[in-house]
Structure 1
């Protein structure tokens, strides 16, 4: 998989995990192994998270 060039403000799709389906996530900070930010759709909408980069499926919109 090609490594994504992520920046704060980007919206990405996070893969499904446990009982949580794929969902949109707005990136606030980018680190070597994860991003931080908030879910913008799905059952976790509005919740803070730190998904690993491997969980990001694709970029939806750039900041």
Structure 2
């Protein structure tokens, strides 16, 4: 399992309706993360992608 912290920037796996993109983690829940897309067609949009969609940490908060 990937260790995530608020403020991390992660890579979200491409899905049927969206490309792979960067996402800033603001909240960590039991089964998903909450935050904002940084790149791609959903840039600036709030979302709660499932933890399984997180490929890796792109940049750590610290």
Q: What TM-score range do you get, normalising by the shorter chain?
A: over 0.9
Deviation beyond 4 Å, 4+ runs, structure 1: none
**Which residue, 10, 13, 30 being the options, matches 1:12?**
10
Q: Does 1:46 align with 2:38?
A: no
Partner of 1:58: 56
Query: How well do the aligned residues superpose, as a CA RMSD in angstroms?
Result: 0.6
Structure 1 residue 19: deviation in Å? 2.8
5+ residue gaps, structure 1, are none
How does the TM-score come out when normalised to structure 1? 0.93
Residues in 1 aligned to 2:3 and 2:17: alpha-carbon distance in whole angstroms? 28
**Which residue, 34, 37, 57 being the options, matches 1:36?**
34
How does the TM-score come out when normalised to structure 2? 0.94
Structure 1 residue 18: deviation in Å? 1.8
